[in-house]
Structure 1
Amino acid sequence: MTGFYHVCFVVPDIERAMDDLRRAAGVEWSAPASDRLGEWDYRIVFTTGGPPFIELIEGPSDSPWDASKGARFDHVGFWTSDVRQGSRRLEDEGMPLDFSGCPYGRPFAYHRMDSVGARVELVDFARQADFLDRWHPDGKPMPSIDETSTG
């Protein structure tokens, strides 16, 4: 299945996680960015070098990226041409919606995938150009899950 472009860990200390993964796996990082969604301030960073990316998010307690009980693998991210339609499909497949950024003006959604203890993230394909400009400026466009899924 393509459209896949990253894995994400939520972490209580983004610099420590970046350093550990750099030493363990030799990955390089973009500079972390700070952002806000709703009432939550968070920090985010992606590896350089192209897909698949590793994403780290450091978020506050009670946020969608709460790591107050320790770092954890959080989600697998995919591009989609329609977040709402993709969310309906995942719900029909038994993966309930866990959090949607859509009400906050951010076209993404997390769905629980209890069989692996993580979430699936769908991100609107329309955001890909901005993503590439910010995190992978020399990168080529990536397909969406809808373009490559066989059903």
Structure 2
Amino acid sequence: MTAFYHVCFAVPDLEAAMRDLRGAAGVEWSEPKRDRLAEWDYRIVFTRGGPPFIELIEGPAGSPWDASDGPRFDHLGYWSDSVEAGSRRLADQGMAEDFSGCPYGRPFAYHRVDSIGARVELVDAARQPGFLANWHPGGDAMPAISEKGGR
């Protein structure tokens, strides 16, 4: 069972990235949203019609999504039935935690995968209904990584 549901790019200009990917790949976008995590205000958008989705995120300097050095591939996103257990599993495999939203009330964690120069994001599968309501209304539920018995 697969739990992959998105690929993310951190970008310094959300509108330019949306325009360019629309032209290059023909993707359609949902409405961008503003949010805040800790001291960071950021903007985020997902493609329509997924999964898999393309996520673009524009965050300020010093944030987990800082793209002040230019746009970059940031992470692959996966649903997980246990972010805590998944984070332990990834850390045990040498993929250090890079950032966790858990202390801020957001059940997700980023882990470095140095061999690809990016991160893997584990997101609590309990957030999936809210994600679908915001970004993919009417979309079917997606599977999650089962930390209780593999994938």
If the TM-score is normalised by the length of the shorter chain, which range does it land in?
A: over 0.9
Please give the secondary structure, in 2, of the residue aligned with 1:146. coil
**How far apart in 2 are the matches of 1:58 and 1:80?**
24
Give structure 1 stretches of 5+ with no counterpart. Answer: none
Query: How many Å apart are 1:150 and its aligned residue?
Result: 4.3
Q: Which residue of 1 aligns with 2:13?
A: 13
**How far apart in 2 are the matches of 1:93 and 1:3?**
19
Query: How many Å apart are 1:10 and its aligned residue?
Result: 0.2
Matches within 5 A, 1:30-109: 30-109=30-109
Query: How many Å apart are 1:22 and its aligned residue?
Result: 0.3
Please give the secondary structure, in 1, of the residue aligned with 2:6. strand
Q: Which residue of 1 aligns with 2:139?
A: 139
Q: What value does the CA root-mean-square deviation take over the aligned residues? A: 1.5
Give structure 2 stretches of 5+ with no counterpart. Answer: none
Count of residue correspondences: 151
Q: Does 1:129 align with 2:137?
A: no
Q: Deviations along 1:70-117, whole A, 9 cap, x unmatched?
A: 000000000001111110000001100000000000000000000000
Q: Which residue of 2 aligns with 1:120?
A: 120
Query: How many Å apart are 1:145 and its aligned residue?
Result: 1.4
**How far apart in 2 are the matches of 1:41 and 1:59?**
7
Residue identity opposite 2:51 in structure 1: P
Percent identical pairs in the alignment equals: 73
**How far apart in 1 are the matches of 2:145 and 2:70?**
31
Q: Does 1:23 align with 2:23?
A: yes
**How far apart in 2 are the matches of 1:3 and 1:146?**
9
TM-score normalised per structure 1: 0.97
Please give the secondary structure, in 2, of the residue aligned with 1:109. strand
Runs of 4+ in 1 over 3 A off after TM superposition: none
